[in-house]
Amino acid sequence: MRNLKMTIAYDGSRYKGWQKQKDTDLTIQGKIEAVLSKMTEENVLLVGCGRTDLGVHAENYIANFHTKCAMSSDTMMDYLYQFLPEDIVVKSMVDVDERFHARYNVKSKTYVYKINNNKYRDVFNRKYTYHLAEKLNLTEMRKASDALIGSHDFQSFINSKSKNKSTIRTINYINIIEHDGNIDIEVNGDGFLWNMVRIIAGTLIEVGKGNLEASNVEKILNEKKRWEAGPLAQAKGLLLRDVQY
Q: Which residues are part of the catalytic machinery? A: 53
Contact (Cβ atoms closer than 8 angstroms) between residue 132 and residue 117: yes
CA 191 to chain centre: 10
Residue 88's nearest CA partner among 157, 15, 23 is: 15
Q: How far apart are CA 212 and CA 15, in angstroms?
A: 33
Cβ-based neighbour number of residue 68 at 10 Å: 9
Angle, helix 138-146 to helix 196-209, in steps of 10 degrees: 130
